[in-house]
Amino acid sequence: MIPAYKYRREPGDAAAAGEKGGSDESQCAVCLSAFAEGEDVRRLPKCGQSFHAACIDAWLCARASCPLCRASVLAAAPPQSAPGEATWPNIRMDRLINYSLASRYQNEVSRIVIK
């Protein structure tokens, strides 16, 4: 779960004070309301966007991406071999599968009788 924190307005933040022309960073992009002092807010770790905790929780129940930039909020998959970089267990398994398929093919072909 993404940790929540209490919103604190930065000095000079016009949008949080309800004035026009303020920054979008003091507004929840899900509900389009300005953050109020002391509200629970969550900041997405990958993109740094902030949202009301309840708004982003509801959003993330349906989607696993940021509502603004669509960056994934899922943890990255563990690193694997680069494409084309073979590992010995994989090579052995590939050979075993290929051998098995070739054997089956030969058995099936030998059963075909041409009249």
Dihedral of alpha carbons 97, 98, 100, 104, sign: positive
The count of structural domains within the chain is 1
In which element (H, E) is residue 52 found? strand 50-52
Written as one letter, the residue type at 114 is I
User: Is 42 contained in some domain?
Assistant: yes
Within a domain: 36: yes
The whole-model pTM stands at: 0.56
Residue 104 covered by a domain: no
pLDDT digits (tens, 9 = 90+) for 92-103: 666 666 666 666
The verdict on residue 16 lying in a domain is yes
HSE-CB at 7 with a 13 A cutoff on CA atoms is: 22
4 pairs with which residues across the strands? 42
- Tell me the residue range of the domain where 39 lies: 4-62
CATH code for the domain in which residue 22 is found: 3.30.40.10
Domain presence at residue 94: no
Render pLDDT for 54-100 as a digit per residue (tens, 0 to 9).
Answer: 999 999 999 889 999 998 888 766 666 566 555 556 666 666 666 66
Task: List the structure tokens of 89.
Answer: 């267990």
Q: Is residue 40 part of a domain?
A: yes
- Residue 40 in tokens: 């629970």
